[in-house]
Amino acid sequence: MIRSREGIQSNQQHPGLKDSSAAAPPALDIGNSLLDIGDSSATEAILRVMAEAHGLDISRYEETFLRKMIAKRLAATGLTMAAYAGHLAGDREEAEKFTHALRINHSDFFRNPLTFALLEQVILPGLVEAKRKSGGDEIRVWSAGCAAGQEAWSIAMLLDELTGEAPSYRIFATDLDGPDLALARTGVYSVEGMGNVRSRHLRGCFSWHGDFYAVVPRLRARVDFSVHDLLDDDSASPVASIYGDFDLIFCCNLLFYYRPDARQRILDKFCRALSPGGYFVTGEAERAIVSNQKRLYPAFPLATIFQKTTFPHR
């Protein structure tokens, strides 16, 4: 559950979407409407209308995903494909609804149990030990595409237990501009959204206010939320992080929504921002996308945790 601008609301995915942590892109219950949206030229017509009438570039999204989202809007509006393109051209509100639908924002605390078990028991203790030995003062983490913040706070709960004065930790959590980031910053979650959070963390990392939980100031001081479009090539890493050099980057359930060239641009950015030997965590459905990267190799074969090579041309 997350809070919306109207108050606390269910953290359900967009209606009809299955959990994207296990398979991608998510299936949609749209009956036969996918059959009605025609071939790629129909999708291209929508891309053109969005660009020419509204200045919105959605061309970087993966085509099957785009077609599913168009089908979803057809089902919601009751329009045919031919009518929809015309309708979209003159209706800014519909263009915004469509853009919003493209930002799948489902998230959860400790979303992938294997990832978080390995983090807690192996990776984070190893990073803390290495920092201690090298005299490093801070473990640096980037949660990219953080939605309403559950991923960033989950990492914070684990690091809170493992770190102290030196090393301490800092998490930079980023997403596109929008209400989710505002919700993430509040650190307030309804009781129903806390199902994956262990009682020890509930007691130690949140204050309870009857029907919602709020992240305690100790953790809030360690997590910095900011706007960062991963496809903006002018910005190499979250502005507040200044120079990147991350020990750990999370980018889960985001890459598969994009076309291969856009995915590669994002992965190149992460490879530059990771320190040598730093870890990269992605979603189960993105394993194949990341597996072919020369600079990242699987650190734990069963999990979707990769590590950056320590030398340039592995």
Count the site residues for ligand SAM by CB under 6 A: 21
Residues 85 and 45 sit within 8 Å (Cβ to Cβ):
yes
Question: What does the alpha-carbon distance between residue 1 and residue 192 come to, in Å, rounded to a whole number?
Answer: 6
Question: What does the alpha-carbon distance between residue 66 and residue 43 come to, in Å, rounded to a whole number?
Answer: 8
In whole angstroms, the minimum distance from the beta carbon of 148 to ligand SAM comes to 8
- Measuring CA to CA, which residue among 194, 189, 115, 193 is closest to residue 158? 115
Applying CB under 6 A, which of residues 25, 145, 187, 278 lies at the interface with ligand SAM? 145
| Closer residue to ligand SAM, CB minimum distance, 74 or 146 | 146
Site stretch for ligand SAM (CB under 6 A), options 34-42, 103-111, 131-139, 237-245: 103-111
Question: What does the alpha-carbon distance between residue 197 and residue 206 come to, in Å, rounded to a whole number?
Answer: 10
Q: Does 231 bind ligand SAM (CB under 6 A)?
A: yes
In whole angstroms, the minimum distance from the beta carbon of 251 to ligand SAM comes to 7
Q: Does 254 bind ligand SAM (CB under 6 A)?
A: yes
Alpha helices per DSSP H over the chain: 40-54, 63-77, 81-90, 92-102, 113-118, 124-134, 150-162, 179-186, 199-205, 217-220, 260-273, 287-291
In whole angstroms, the minimum distance from the beta carbon of 112 to ligand SAM comes to 8
Applying CB under 6 A, which of residues 50, 70, 158, 230 lies at the interface with ligand SAM? 230
In whole angstroms, the minimum distance from the beta carbon of 191 to ligand SAM comes to 19
Question: What does the alpha-carbon distance between residue 232 and residue 228 come to, in Å, rounded to a whole number?
Answer: 8
Determine the residue with CB nearest ligand SAM: 145
Chain residues in the site for ligand SAM (CB under 6 A): 20, 103-107, 111, 145-147, 151, 175-176, 180, 229-231, 252-254, 283
